[in-house]
Amino acid sequence: MAISMDELWKQFCENLTNADSSEAFEQLRIRYLGKKGEITGLLKNMGALAADQRREYGQKVNELKERTEKAITEKAMQAHVKEVERKIAMTPKFDLTQPLKLEEGSYHPITLVQRDCEKIFASMGFTIEDYDEIVDDYHCFEALNIPKHHPARDMQDTYYLTNGQLLKTHTSAAQNAIMRKYGAPLRAIFPGRCFRNESTDACHENTFFQMEGIMIDENISISNLIYFMKTMLSEVFQRDIKVRLRPGFFPFVEPGFELDISCLICGGKGCPSCKNSGWLELCPCGMIHPNVLKAGGIDTEKYTGFAFGLGLTRLAMMKYGIKDIRDLNSGNLKSLSQFVQ
Ligand code: FA5
């Protein structure tokens, strides 16, 4: 005999109580609501009913379907929140008052976030590239649409070698070489150490890390850029982060944006780590300027692309609650020994 709707609901509720993973929720969805699912199957009984009963029966099945869908979604959401809370609780928190643990070595927090980011982008088909720290003027500036005497150079003063080479101010300095090496289509990230001749404070260092990313293909648009930025941040932090996108000027992108995140040190109220603004500049980005693509040997009739320059050091600060960027280069074993994993 066919099972009644009430019995089916009861059976479903029991199964839902026992389900505790995203795979189990998906299996329940397929079992009850899929094309050949048990609730969907109830509609097949309609043919055997008198015409005046069909409408009421159909409504009841639909109501059961909706109730089932809602119950699965709610339980899956609760399980997701629990999992995120568990991961947040496991994230090491930076605390200089912790006693020094010297029995084990540990990775530097920047290495840890860099590896997180590499894993995320590798899973989305990006290759991971390495590049020099000492570069020439052409790669750091001119190939990026910043000719000599362009005012944008003032934003990135650096340390020059006597032979005219310089310590790279940003990971964008590798864009040209990587475009020339691989051509289009291309998806690559390139983390690296950067240097700037500027005064230091709680969120500025003269030596820090960035991670550049570029994606070049046919029909790449700002929507692709926003999708990748959002995916990366939600994966790194494992929770929703408040971000804002505002126009930003960089000669090598058009249009260009500044992507800021709400400061996780002060919760957005304002503190020295975010220059009292409540927001931290984290990842400028934009659509690659055609002059930069041309300099990299890319056919601009066929291809477009986006680029971003993620501040890895600031990401580590936000992820681990490090209030002063200068602690990261201090070599203080008391701070580094907290990151044993
Ligand atoms: C750049 O370096 C651009 N090359 C980024 C870019 C790439 C834009 C691709 C568009 C397309 P900016 O100078 O804003 O931009 O630096 C990028 C990020 O590096 C900043 O948001 C910040 O997170 C980090 N950063 C910059 N200067 C410092 C510093 N002195 N100390 C620590 N982090 C810094």
Residues with CB under 6 A from ligand 1: 170, 172, 196, 198, 204-205, 208, 210, 212, 250, 253, 256, 281-282, 284-286, 307-309, 311, 313-314, 325
**Minimal-distance CA residue to ligand 1 atom 5:** 309
Which residue type does 20 have?
A: D
pTM of the model: 0.78
Identify the pLDDT of residue 3.
78
Distance set, CA 77 to CA 14, 72, 112, 313, 316 (Å): 18, 9, 28, 32, 28
- What pLDDT is recorded for position 24? 92
Q: Tell me if 323 sits within 8 A of 202, measured CB to CB.
A: yes
Q: Average pLDDT per run of 10 along the chain, which is 341 residues long? A: 83 92 92 91 83 88 93 90 78 74 80 93 95 96 94 90 96 97 96 95 94 97 90 82 91 95 87 89 95 97 96 90 87 71 54
Helix axes 5-18 and 22-33, enclosed angle (nearest 10): 170
Helix (H) or strand (E) holding 40: helix 38-42
Say which residues have a Cβ less than 8 Å from residue 193's Cβ, sequence separation at least 6: 133, 207, 208, 209
Q: What is the pLDDT of residue 154?
A: 86
Q: Tell me which of 145, 208, 279 to substitute to probe ligand 1's pocket, judged by most ligand atoms within 8 Å of the beta carbon.
A: 208
DSSP secondary structure code for residue 204 in this structure: B
* Number of neighbours of residue 92 by Cβ within 10 angstroms: 16
Rounded CA-CA distance 268/280 in Å is 9
